[in-house]
Amino acid sequence: MKKGELGNMTLIISFLFILGIIGFGIVSGNYAFFKDGHDIRQAEANSLNEKITECFSENEEILHENDLFSKCGIDEEIIEKNFLIVIKKDNAEIINVGKHDETRCILGDKNKQFPKCKNSTISKDGSQYFILTGSNQNFVEEIPE
Binding region for other proteins (CB under 8 A): 8, 12, 15-16, 19, 22-23, 26-27, 30, 34, 37-38, 40, 43-44, 47-48, 50-51, 69, 73-75, 77-79, 81-83, 137, 139-144
∠ CA 115-119-45 to the nearest 5 degrees?
40
Q: Please, which residue, 46 or 119, has the CB nearer to other proteins?
A: 46
Cβ atoms of 82 and 45 within 8 Å: the answer is: no
What are phi and psi for residue 56, nearest 5 degrees? -65, -40
Closer of 54 and 90 to other proteins (Cβ): 54
Q: Name which of 1 and 92 has its Cβ closer to other proteins.
A: 1
Q: Are 76 and 65 in contact (CB under 8 A)?
A: yes
